[in-house]
Amino acid sequence: MTVRTVAIVPAAGKGERMGADKALLDLGGTTAIARIVATCRAAGVDEVLVVRRDGAAPLPAGTAAQVVVVPPGGEMADSLRAAQAALPASSTNVLVFPVDHALVEAETVVALLATVERGAAIALPLFRRRPGHPIALRRDVFAEIAEPTALLRDLVKRDPARVRVVPSANPWVHADLDHPEDLRAAQCALHGEPWSTVAQMFRHRSRRAYRPDPIPQPQLERLVDAARHASTSSFIQAYAVVCVRDAATKGECARLCSGQEHIVQAPVFAAICADLHKLAACCGRRGTSLQAQSFELFLQATIDAALVGQNLQLAAEAEGLGACMIGAARNHPEQLAKLLGLPPHVFVVFGMTLGHPSDDPLPRGRMPLAGVLHFERYDVAGTGAVLDGADDAMRAWARRTNAAGAGKKGRPVDETKGWSDRMARMWGAGSDYVAARQVLVDELRRLGFGLG
């Protein structure tokens, strides 16, 4: 068979900074090397040479690649020279595809190889004005690597006129799989939606209907792991997340949270807790006592929990899940704490349903930006215009919702009420919300928050 294009995958390192053999890293249920080989095949590469150090673990069974063995301890240039000596005589183009860049997609490889086929000596992917990997070269140019001291970058820099850049939308042409945090980022990317973080924020809606599909525990662990990297006041990390999956327990949670049906329907109900229990344990270990009467400490723990909860919701939405925050978790804080086995100094600030959404509600939008963003001083004079805008937006949302037949539980939304009407009813004199939580402070004190 005539071989025109050969991919060389340097994968001879020990992965000391990663703590594992990079070629065998799990990336979305397949190894890094298997992913690269599949990408190369999809891009029309004829043959793949994988460079491995002597004594390295074998590649997964069925990996359609030839292995070139090199002594341990060499550099990338040594691997490339060994692969260069093993190139088929008929090959005309070479693709250097480091294992660190396993998330690069086939479309990038196709574009690089096409650039070389059109006459370029070297083709580099360019993401946001920075070049990366893999690199495509004519074989005669790659042969320069045989020089004893030559490095790949020397081949690229030797004559800028023979280099062409190929714009790429794939950020992984830059990213190296060097450290555990790089692997974590790669795994998150494989499960993520194709939106930037900011775009994902604009796409937020509360989801209140879910398919029965469970959330795999590794995904749940990944989401909470990401969420706990939120900012935390004085590094106290005064939060905890209790994930409830048991149907009976979810049913009890729903009963204590105004009977909201989506708590039962969702595969996970997450209780987002302000947690001073660990701080109390720290104080006990050092022969002192937690000053739980501090209102400042209560605020810090509550804010910590809110930041983690918001992070968790954003992380879940970034992976295609839906979520809805449940403020009614504060309706019966003592009973909910008992149900979830919370120790003293812990309470549920709010709950959150998580799952694969089966609804697609119209986004409500938000009040005019001028009501939130002020420069230098708060613009009190603009409040009236802001409220008018918020009212108009709420009525317009109600009309769109009713036109789509998407009212709450089949009931149409009142199109006459604006945001101001709703807020005045909820929080003005005679408020049911206020009446329902008149004893909240007393309950929190019994849960170990002095609120002095």
Q: Record the tokens describing residue 214, joined without a space.
A: 């469970």
Assign 115 to helix, strand or coil.
helix
The number of distinct structural domains making up the chain is 2
Residue 148 pLDDT more than 90?
no
Give how far Cα 162 sits from Cα of 136, 156, 372, Å.
12, 8, 53
Of the candidate ranges 45-49, 345-349, 359-363, the one whose mean pLDDT is the lowest: 359-363
Q: Is residue 211 part of a domain?
A: yes
Other beta carbons less than 10 A from residue 141's beta carbon: 20
pLDDT digits (tens, 9 = 90+) for 18-43: 889 999 999 988 999 999 999 999 99
Both 222 and 152 in a single domain? no
From CA 20, how far away is CA 5, in angstroms rounded? 30
Both 256 and 298 in a single domain? yes
Q: Record the tokens describing residue 124, joined without a space.
A: 């580099």
pLDDT the model gives residue 24: 93
Chain centroid to Cα 350, Å, comes to 22
Residue 452 pLDDT level (bands cut at 50, 70, 90)? low
Both 25 and 129 in a single domain? yes
Residue 212 pLDDT more than 90?
yes
* Average pLDDT rounded to a whole number, residues 135-148: 93
395: CB partners within 8 A, 6+ apart: 415, 416, 417, 418
> Any idea what DSSP says for residue 69?
E
pLDDT digits (tens, 9 = 90+) for 218-239: 899 999 999 999 999 999 999 9
Both 240 and 350 in a single domain? yes
From CA 370, how far away is CA 375, in angstroms rounded? 10
Both 199 and 95 in a single domain? no
CATH of the domain at 108: 3.90.550.10
Both 134 and 282 in a single domain? no
The answer to whether 79 touches 12, Cβ cutoff 8 Å, is: yes
pLDDT cut 90: percent of the chain above it: 76
Q: Which residue has the tokens 């939580």?
A: 437
Q: Record the tokens describing residue 316, joined without a space.
A: 């879940």
pLDDT digits (tens, 9 = 90+) for 154-180: 999 999 999 999 999 888 998 888 888
Q: What is the pTM of this model?
A: 0.75
* Average pLDDT rounded to a whole number, residues 41-55: 94
Both 169 and 276 in a single domain? no
Q: Is residue 269 part of a domain?
A: yes
Q: Is residue 183 part of a domain?
A: no
pLDDT the model gives residue 3: 62
* Parent domain of 349: 195-361+418-446
From CA 270, how far away is CA 184, in angstroms rounded? 23
Please, what is the average pLDDT of the chain? 92
116: CB partners within 8 A, 6+ apart: 93, 122, 123, 136, 137, 138
Residue 2 pLDDT level (bands cut at 50, 70, 90)? low
CATH of the domain at 276: 3.40.109.10
